[in-house]
Structure 1
């Protein structure tokens, strides 16, 4: 699952959540190189012809488009959420893809996890509620992962 609980101190629990990337960074290079190779094979028959120079820019444009799209996908999924549970406080920090951060803190006694089965932007939308605010957590996870996260959050917040 793209989240992990750790216990850095005796009375502190930390949950880190991140989006799942099915294609590793090295895989991007392999995909782009494979696309380039497969696009160049038909152009071998045109070596020495004027048609090669007419088709080559379009092939390179397609390879460049794939490179830009895959890098944009990685940049958009560069999200990290960190939930810190101490004896008295719950703190949620989020690093957005644009580099900005969002923070939320609440007294642990008043914090609670809620699941909105159909009311949220995604099915089984999980939020944390407390200190007069309601914040989302793990909206980028799959439906099954959000359901498992909700159960873990309930037991972690109020053991």
Structure 2
């Protein structure tokens, strides 16, 4: 799962949840994929060696490889998104770091904080939000539907435990 609950220190009521987007293609796999793609795309060009057609097709092949490289690099950049949810007896705080480095924060008294899941009617199925202080914010926007479904009861239980710690 692309999220992790940090173990609590002894005597510390603070709970921390880190969330990040899942990356199915690691950097090493990216390099291998690009090498295999370049080899597979260049195989048909060997038949055109020494002809004028090679020079006509080469810019399009280079453009296709460059476009694939750009798209995968952009996907990796979006993977820099990171959310941290802190919960203790007094407050709940959600901090989201976006791919370009800008930070968004939301906080609320833990007594009034609510976690909600909207199975339908949200922008995505099983839309997961935190509500409090007159605002409702999405958590785990980058998670899959199954991951949001699994995370909902965990956050709900952690929130109840934070309230009991009062």
TM-score between the two structures when normalised by the length of structure 2 = 0.90
Deviation for aligned residue 1:7: 2.6
Report what 1:48 is aligned to. 50
Deviation for aligned residue 1:46: 2.0
Determine helix, strand or coil for the equivalent of 2:7: strand
Report what 1:156 is aligned to. 158
Greater shift, 92-101 or 49-58, is seen at 49-58
Structure 1 alignment gaps of length 5 or more: none
Structure 2 alignment gaps of length 5 or more: 162-166
Identify the structure with bigger relative contact order (alpha carbons < 8 Å, sequence gap 6+). 2
Report what 2:106 is aligned to. 104
Greater shift, 88-97 or 46-55, is seen at 46-55
Deviation for aligned residue 1:8: 4.9
Report what 1:60 is aligned to. 62
Report what 2:4 is aligned to. 4
Equivalents in 2 of 1:62, 1:117: separation in Å? 39
Instruction: Output the aligned Cα RMSD.
Output: 1.3
Equivalents in 2 of 1:44, 1:85: separation in Å? 61
Deviation for aligned residue 1:149: 0.8
Report what 1:18 is aligned to. 20
TM-score between the two structures when normalised by the length of structure 1 = 0.94
* Deviant stretches of 4+, over 6 Å: none
